[in-house]
Homo-oligomer: A and B are copies of this chain.
Amino acid sequence: MGPSASESRSAAENGVEESNPPEIVISVLNTPAPPPLGHELAWSIREGIFPRRNKSSSLFRHVISVFCGLFPVLSWGKEYNGKTFRSDLMAGLTLASLGIPQSIGYANLAKLDPQYGLYTSVVPPLIYAVMGSSREIAIGPVAVVSLLLSSMLQKLADPQVDPVSYRKLVFTSTFFAGIFQAAFGLFRLGFLVDFLSHAVIVGFMGGAAIVISLQQLKGLLGIAHFTTKTDVVSVIEAVWNAFHQHWHPENFYLGCSFLVFLLITRFIGRRNNKLFWLPAIAPLISVILSTLLVFMTRADKHGVITIQHIKGGLNPSSAKQLQFTGQYAAECAKVGLICAIIALTEAVAVGRSFASIRGYHLDGNKEMVAMGFMNIAGSLSSCYLATGSFSRTAVNYSAGCKTAVSNIVMAITVFAALELLTRLLYYTPIAILASIILSSLLGLIDIGEAYAIWEVDKVDFLACLGAFFGILFGSVEIGLLIAVAISFSRIILNLIRPQIEMLGRIQGTDIFCSIKQYPMANQESGLLILRMDSSFLYFVNANMIKERIAKYCVKEGQDEIEENPKERIQSVVIDMSNVKNIDTTGIAALEELHKKLDTLGIQLVMANPGWLLIHKMKLASFVDLIGEKWIFLTVGEAVEACLNAHKDNGNNG
């Protein structure tokens, strides 16, 4: 039925081929209408906030599935048996042996009494065990969040002068953090966690690790008067002053020798995976040995600072200590928000990386709900902000945990320790806690990753450096602010200054590529093919794009005229395939562009405009303005039509 190859070729040469394009024009312009009024926004909101419901399931089943989603224990609890429990028991006990000294150390970092760190290792893990969906994550206090809380809250109340007010602020901030975390999960705002990019987190963690190490100098050197600031300059100044006054070298010798012991066990554990339990129980061994040492030598009378009294027993209620009125409520909400995001970032990163090792999917939003509820419960039972700890999760995984029951075992063990063993910690030296924290910080500094970021993306590296130095020389908030500002500045630049790429044809094909990227691509004579590299043409970038295209046409046109006056630009083909949406400013910019090109005698041609674009251009009668026959499905068709038109003009002229 169709014409033979030679026939169609001769038809093309005679310019009769124009009988074909209209068919394609119809298919481009007669696409289905996009969704009606408000749907555009409503869809985004629905997609964003409400979980999707499977249409085929009944309401009852939907409720059940939501319920099971909230309490994953209902799913995995059914298949739980003795064998898995044996694994979880071993993992939980290993976890507790690492968790008890770390919790006391982190409480010290958070400027709270030691028992609050232990409390935080009891209630939140229990709540998480029934609500969380990660099987490996170990819940409890972590270094960075402890530092964050103390560095931001001690500006409001001095923990040494007025510990009661300070504790109230801590619990209130924890409560707010829990509310924010639960809200993020329930309203599916998980993407907020993504606003701290990978690079920023690397920089942030590195900076935080150094700041935390510096804070440990207080315990390690036995300094009585330390600064409340966290930046490097203030801390070094404080240490320098302490050296010139009086300090107790016994603390330092004790701390350093155990630090060396901890680092060696860590090194051995790294080298031999079967000995993973060695670094895991080393902190407990250090605590026991050093406590015995101090007790036997009565070194606490000779300058070694010890923990002394820890209040034992069950977590007391702290519901009455939450303050929602008064001058600091808003400040606590702010601290809560920052801590909530940092804590979630760490927990989601930890959870996801271990979930991907085990090969299951972790729903970020559900995790946030679980974290939120566990922190709300924590804030009511004298706990401060808990999250997933990277080092303890790794130990939990290595120890062979199977389900969140290992968290329950750990919580019960810590609770038992609170009931029975707190009196034994009277002689534990603070320097040991400092060395335990120091040894656990090494994992936070990831120079290799920072180098990889530098290699791949310089802007990301800049954000990473911004976070690092911001924390080091400013404060946690300044570091985060700088890093987020750097990360977003590139996005904003991309938004308001999208690139326009010049395309060329790859010889002998219908493939059109950027001539910058593929130097072998050839420009057609008398024709400019441009591609807009933006996914929308809105008020923020429409004028910029219009002016760039106009400048291209004028510049290229002039060059051409100088070199070869006959080869002046007659048409501009704009590849719109990237542009998905347009607003009225965008359409006005296209109209102005068309007018401008018209005065220069250049035909504006469009290739592959998207769904919404076609619809809106039709509504705004822009299609009639440039002419239906100048809108094509592909760049190839557009170019062919232009070349034919040029030939006709040439013949007529």
By a beta-carbon cutoff of 8 Å, the part of chain A in contact with chain B is 27, 31-32, 37-38, 40-41, 44, 47-48, 191, 194-200, 356, 359, 361, 364, 452-453, 455-460, 462, 487, 490-491, 493-499, 510-511, 513-514, 516-520, 533-536, 538-544, 550, 577-578, 580-585, 587-588, 592, 595-596, 599, 610-611, 616, 619-620, 633-634
Q: Which residues of B contact A199 (CB under 8 A)?
A: 539, 583-585
Q: How far is the CB of A206 from chain B (nearest CB, A)?
A: 15
Q: Which residue of B lies closest to A493 (CB)?
A: B44
Knowing A40-B458, A460-B584, A592-B356 touch, does A31 contact B518 (C-beta < 8 A)?
A: yes
CB-CB < 8 A to A540: which residues of B? 191, 194-195, 491
Task: Pick the contact of A599: B48, B359, B544, B592 (CB < 8 A).
Answer: B359
Q: A539 — which chain B residues lie within 8 A by C-beta?
A: 194-200, 487
Please judge, given known A-B contacts A514-B611, A583-B199, A592-B356, whether A459 and B491 are in contact too, CB under 8 Å.
no
CB-CB under 8 A from A196, the residues of chain B are 539
Q: Is the CB of A491 within 8 A of B538?
A: yes
**A462, A493, A599 — most chain B CB neighbours (10 Å):** A493
A-B pairs with beta carbons under 8 Å apart, 7 shown:
A48-B493, A198-B539, A356-B596, A491-B538, A499-B580, A513-B633, A577-B578
Task: Contacts A191-B496, A191-B540, A539-B195 given; indicate if A452 touches B584 (C-beta within 8 A).
Answer: yes
* Cβ contact within 8 Å between A197 and B584: yes
Task: State whether B538 touches A581 (Cβ < 8 A).
Answer: no
CA distance A457 to B613 in the complex (A): 11
Assess the B538–A535 pair: CB atoms within 8 A: no
B47 touches A497 (CB 8 A): yes
Chain B residue numbers with a CB within 8 Å of A361 are: 550
In the complex, what distance in Å separates the CA atom of A359 from the CA atom of B356?
Answer: 61
Question: What CA separation (Å) do A98 and B604 show in the bound complex?
Answer: 41
Cβ contact of A491, chosen from B41, B456, B495, B620, cutoff 8 A: B495
| CB nearest neighbor in B for A636 | B511
Query: Which residue of B191, B543, B585, B616 is within 8 Å of A544 (Cβ)?
Result: B191
Measured between alpha carbons, how far is A541 from B599 in the docked complex, in Å? 41
CB <8 Å contact, A633 and B511: yes
Q: Evaluate contact between B491 and A588: CB separation under 8 angstroms.
A: no
Least CB separation from A449: chain B residue: B584
A634 touches B511 (CB 8 A): yes
Which chain B positions have C-beta within 8 A of A494? 535-536, 580-581
Give the most central of A191, A583, A610, A616: most B CB within 10 Å. A583
User: Chain B residues with Cβ under 8 A from A533's Cβ?
Assistant: 535, 578, 580
**Cβ–Cβ contact B456 & A587, under 8 A:** yes
Q: State whether A588 touches B191 (Cβ < 8 A).
A: no
Question: Which residues of B sit under 8 angstroms from A514, Cβ to Cβ?
Answer: 610-611
Contacts of A27 in B (CB 8 A): 518, 520
Which of B456, B490, B616 sits near A584, CB closer than 8 Å?
A: B456
- B residues near A592, Cβ cutoff 8 Å: 356
Contacts of A542 in B (CB 8 A): 194
Minimum C-beta distance from A14 to chain B (A): 24
B48 pairs with A497, CB closer than 8 A: yes
Candidates B198, B200, B535; contact of A535 at CB < 8 Å: B535
* Additional A-B contact list (6), CB under 8 Å, known A198-B539, A356-B592: A198-B588, A452-B620, A457-B584, A498-B535, A513-B633, A578-B578
Assembly CA distance A627 to B373 (angstroms): 44
Q: How far is the CB of A110 from chain B (nearest CB, A)?
A: 29
Q: Are B44 and A497 in contact (CB under 8 A)?
A: yes
Centre residue among A37, A457, A544, A578 by max chain B CB count within 10 A: A457
**A55 vs B32: C-alpha distance when bound (angstroms):** 50
- CB contacts (< 8 Å) of A457 on chain B: these are 582-584, 616
Alpha-carbon gap, A538 to B200, bound state (A): 12
Are the C-beta atoms of B611 and A459 separated by less than 8 Å?
Answer: no
On whether A453 and B584 interact (CB within 8 A), knowing A198-B539, A491-B540, A633-B513, the answer reads yes
Contact of A490 with B41 in the complex, beta carbons under 8 Å: yes
Cα–Cα, bound, A634→B610 (Å): 19
Which residues of B have CB within 8 Å of A197?
Answer: 538-539, 583-585
Do A619 and B456 form a contact, CB below 8 Å, given A356-B592, A519-B32, A542-B194? yes
Complex CA–CA separation, A462 to B634 (angstroms) = 34
Chain B residues near A499: list those with CB within 8 A. Answer: 580
A583 to B483, CA, bound (A): 14
